[in-house]
Chain A
Amino acid sequence: MALTVDNLTEWINSFAQKVNDQKDYLSELDTPIGDGDHGNNMARGVKAVQESLENKKPAELTDAFKQIAMALISKVGGASGPLYGTAFLEMAKKSKDTTDLGELFAAANAGIKKRGGAQVGDKTMVDVWEPLSDQLAQGSLAQEDIDKAVNGTRGLVAKKGRASYLGDRSVGHLDPGAMSSGYLFTALIETEGIL
């Protein structure tokens, strides 16, 4: 099983579908601890990604990752744009050498951490990307791993972004970026032929 332009496109379309279906929920999660726009921002981003992939079918995996990255960077608007964009840009760079999912996701996770300055435990998307990238490197990833990582952000105190202004008051809320990242990983394991 390996990543190809076709199953990458299928994966991303599935992610886009989940973001659109859960748009209001993502914004709802973002309301008590953020600025309430995560769902709309991500929906705008994935729409741009889908348009980009439709208008110009990428020849190589690297082109596909790059197109996804640029669409997210230019269209999302909030912090998720540069963070998701950097993740896919790092995968684009890495995909020149390998299509190994573990290595691609490790590069993406390192990019997110560098861009946003967050570490594990800061109540961000890193709390999903890091453990799940490790799982992928070990060759197994199940929905329960994804749920565990996403739900794990509920008890954490936010250290980054707008949620960090709330300090202890952020405890009890799921991190919206962790949730949308969870959808990306769910879409990945649901897409036939990648894992």
Chain B
Amino acid sequence: MTLGITIVSHVPEIAEGLPKLLKQVAADVPLTFAGGTDDGDIGTSMEKISQAFTDNSADEILAFYDLGSAKMNLEMAQEMSDKTIHLYDTALIESAYTAASLLQADVPLNDIEEQLKPLKIK
């Protein structure tokens, strides 16, 4: 069982930029992202999110998002995915960074989730 991370943002550059930060502490953690609508506008796309789940080499994924409607598209993609997707209502950058560094250190999921709890903001 491998664990990976998927980042979802309304803005393509945010979704693309955050993994750069995460890779510094998590070189071996499978990271994928989905940003913007299908046309690259501000918003989120269920199809892009589904693709990010598929493209992630892990079979269990921790998903982090920025704002409200990203969560709805994430949930729809989650329902359609064969993988186990964990969704966190936490501060995007801080929690993705926390999870990435802990995954790199092979910390069990339960302990990671314990550390994510104080970062829940939505």
Q: Residues of A with Cβ closer than 8 Å to B?
A: 35, 37, 41, 73-79, 81-83, 85-86, 115-116, 160-162
Contacts and interface: CB of A to CB of B under 8 A. Distances in A.
Contacts of A162: 67-68
A77 B37 contact: yes
Q: Closest 4 CB pairs between A and B?
A: A77-B43, A79-B69, A82-B72, A77-B37
A115 B72 contact: yes
User: Most B CB atoms within 10 A — which of A41, A77, A85, A160?
Assistant: A77
Contacts of A37: 42
A79 B71 CA distance: 9
Contacts of B46: 73-74, 81-82
Interface residues of B, number: 17
Given A73-B46, A74-B46, A116 B72 contact: yes
A148 B117 CA distance: 42
A182 B73 CA distance: 24
Contacts of A41: 43
B21 interface: no
Interface string B16-55: 0000000000000000000001110111111100000000
A82 B38 contact: no
B76 interface: yes
B49 to A, nearest CB: 11
Classify the interface of chain A: helix, strand, loop or mixed: helix
A78 B39 CA distance: 13
Contact of B76 (A35, A75, A85): A85
Contact of A77 (B41, B68, B75): B41
A160 B42 CA distance: 19
A38 to B, nearest CB: 12
A82 B69 contact: yes
A83 B69 CA distance: 9
A86 B45 contact: no
A37 B75 CA distance: 22
B72 A79 contact: yes
18 contacts: A41-B43, A73-B76, A74-B38, A74-B45, A74-B46, A74-B47, A76-B43, A77-B44, A78-B43, A79-B72, A81-B73, A82-B69, A82-B73, A85-B76, A115-B75, A115-B76, A161-B69, A162-B67
Nearest to B48: A74
Given A73-B76, A74-B45, 20 more contacts: A73-B46, A74-B46, A75-B38, A76-B43, A77-B37, A77-B44, A78-B43, A79-B68, A79-B69, A81-B69, A81-B72, A82-B69, A82-B75, A82-B76, A85-B76, A86-B76, A115-B72, A116-B72, A160-B68, A161-B68
